Amino acid sequence: MSPALPEPGRFALGTATASYQIEGAFTEDGRGPSIWDVFSQRPGATADGRDGSVACDSYHRWTEDLDLVAGLGVEYYRFSIAWPRIVPEGRGRVEERGLDYYDRLVDGMLERGLVPSATLFHWDLPQALEDEGGWLVRSTPEAFAEYADVVAQRLVDRVGLWATHNEPWCAAYLGYAAGVHAPGRQEGGAAHRAAHHLNLGHALAAERLRAAGAEAVGIVLNLAPIWPEREEAREVSAGIDAIRNAVWLDPLVDGAYGEQLLSVAPELADPELVQTGDLDRIQGSVDWLGVNYYTPVRPDVALADAAPHPEGGAYPGVAPFDLVVREPRTDIGWEIEPAGLTDVLTTTWERVGVPIIVTENGAACVDEVAPVAEGEAPTYAVDDQDRIDYLRGHLAAVNDARRAGADVRAYFVWTLLDNFEWAEGYTKTFGLVHVASEDQTRTPKASYRWVAAHADDLREAARVAGAAVSP
């Protein structure tokens, strides 16, 4: 068994990817269709009309990709398992060839001295389950638990760190309310129902993982600091905080959906949805918590005559509001504010009290890609100083949180490869490694070399920052 969480007092580094964003090979070895295969075919669903059917072709190039992770000098590789490769129809028949793929991948990590960190659901729900109601029906969390059990039986002896879901907020609220992610439904309050079924699915899967012997089971949340722009924006900010943060943390910590949340999401008081025993199973169901952070959320009151903010669709039940995005920003339009990471880590540590890992942080940048005149690979030089600055600033913010007493054990860069960035298609890139879309050539960027060159110093600086609180 690999070491799971870094020891208290130690600090580890990693990098992360997700199955649909990198694998491609979307019909190979019996993989069934996922909701992202279907959704990305809709006209206008992705910025460039492209999808993940080929992506980075990592399904075939995984040895090269693992070599790249190892070359970064990090200890952890966070990857996700494609549910439709393992259980193509969502429930029932298991596809051995899918299991074999992740078996080889995990062995490849161990051979390179990497700790495998597996996420079971990074949004690629089998389409067959969506056809039966997706996360709006209770049979989906039950099917998720069965799938978790199948994966655990095969990999539990070698995967160190387990996460059930990645960013269930996106799956529920971008998928079922805003409609900008798969399955692309715009049904407002239905998203709250999806949120409860995601919470329940997490708890049922966590039970199965533990029963199979998993020791470090967590969930990955995109918690956000909610910073009202002015006094008048306090009320909408409280509603946004409820949907973004409390809908996951309330049941996990308190075993209940709180009052503030119920005021914007009355669906969560429905006893047919939230059944006896559900909340008890969710409470205390994690050994560690993954936090993905990119940017703070700054709500403002909506101007009286303005149309509701487009992102309002992702917060059903909250009165119309505006979101302020200050400068500087990354290429995807997200404000750069490392202090938001310190804030979310310290408040989350105080609330949850389990070890935290920053499971994603990184930047979409316009990289300077220059052809290299002579010689063999690499054929490009990629200067991404903005990304280096972003990473350096956010690692310092993690150290601030550690100095303030938060038990943050590791930091994973999003992401290894330029890949399929969901609704943005391939137009926004977060990779440490450039991937040429013509021929899949991988070229480490300046940021990759920066991480590799500084990994030891970064770990040591974090260790020192946390030394006062964790020996």
In angstroms, the Cα distances linking 269 to 141, 340, 418 are: 19, 31, 42
Q: What is the dihedral of CA 90, 95, 100, 103, to 10 degrees?
A: 30
Candidates 76, 121, 414, 450; binder of ligand PNW (CB under 6 A) is 414
For residue 386, give the nearest of 446, 440, 458 by alpha carbon.
446
167 is a site residue for ligand PNW (CB under 6 A)? yes
Instruction: Let me know: does 423 contact 45? Beta carbons within 8 Å.
Output: yes
Stretch that binds ligand PNW, among 39-47, 162-170, 275-283, 297-305 (CB under 6 A): 162-170
Closer Cβ to ligand PNW, 130 or 421, answer by number: 421
Single out the catalytic residue among 23, 167, 267, 337: 167
Distance, CA of 344 to CA of 84 (rounded, Å): 33
In angstroms, the Cα distances linking 126 to 20, 149, 361 are: 12, 16, 27
429 is a site residue for ligand PNW (CB under 6 A)? no
Record the tokens describing residue 343, joined without a space. Answer: 């804030």
What is the residue type of 366?
Answer: V
Residue 33 carries which DSSP code?
A: P
Min. distance of Cβ 170 from ligand PNW in angstroms? 5
> DSSP secondary structure string, 288-356?
EEEEE----B-EEEPPTTSPPPGGGGGSTTSPPEEE--PSSB-TTS-B--HHHHHHHHHHHHHHH-S-E
46 is a site residue for ligand PNW (CB under 6 A)? no
- To the question of whether residue 422 is assigned a binding role by annotation, the answer is yes
Closer Cβ to ligand PNW, 223 or 458, answer by number: 223
Closer Cβ to ligand PNW, 150 or 248, answer by number: 248
Rounded to the nearest 5 degrees, what angle is found at the Cα of 124, between the Cα atoms of 121 and 128? 115
Q: List, in order, residues 6 or more apart from 365 with CB less than 8 Å away.
A: 330, 331, 384, 386, 387, 390, 429
Closer Cβ to ligand PNW, 123 or 450, answer by number: 123
How many chain residues touch ligand PNW (CB under 6 A)?
12
Q: Can you give the length of the chain in residues?
A: 471
CB atoms within 10 A of CB 372: 12
Known active-site residue 167: yes
292 is a site residue for ligand PNW (CB under 6 A)? yes
CB atoms within 10 A of CB 106: 23
Min. distance of Cβ 220 from ligand PNW in angstroms? 8
Stretch that binds ligand PNW, among 99-107, 163-171, 271-279, 400-408 (CB under 6 A): 163-171
170 is a site residue for ligand PNW (CB under 6 A)? yes
Closer Cβ to ligand PNW, 292 or 470, answer by number: 292
- To the question of whether residue 21 is assigned a binding role by annotation, the answer is yes
- To the question of whether residue 176 is assigned a binding role by annotation, the answer is no
245 is a site residue for ligand PNW (CB under 6 A)? no
Stretch that binds ligand PNW, among 137-145, 146-154, 166-174, 233-241 (CB under 6 A): 166-174
For residue 202, give the nearest of 164, 167, 250 by alpha carbon.
164
Candidates 5, 18, 35, 172; binder of ligand PNW (CB under 6 A) is 18
- Kindly identify the residues of this chain, within the stretch 115-134, that bind ligand PNW according to CB under 6 A: none
Candidates 422, 426, 448, 450; binder of ligand PNW (CB under 6 A) is 422
Instruction: Let me know: does 363 contact 391? Beta carbons within 8 Å.
Output: yes
- To the question of whether residue 260 is assigned a binding role by annotation, the answer is no
- To the question of whether residue 419 is assigned a binding role by annotation, the answer is no
Distance, CA of 415 to CA of 58 (rounded, Å): 14
Known active-site residue 215: no
Candidates 23, 95, 360, 418; binder of ligand PNW (CB under 6 A) is 360
421 is a site residue for ligand PNW (CB under 6 A)? yes
Question: Can you list the alpha helix ranges (DSSP code H) found in 82-219?
Answer: 83-86, 96-111, 127-130, 139-155, 168-169, 190-211
Stretch that binds ligand PNW, among 164-172, 185-193, 371-379, 449-457 (CB under 6 A): 164-172
222 is a site residue for ligand PNW (CB under 6 A)? yes
Mark the binding-site residues, compressed into ranges.
21, 122, 166, 294, 414, 421-422
Which residues are designated catalytic? 167, 360
Residues contributing to the annotated binding site for substrate: 21, 122, 166, 294, 414, 421-422
Residues near ligand PNW (CB under 6 A) = 18, 21, 166-167, 170, 222, 292, 360, 414, 421-422, 430
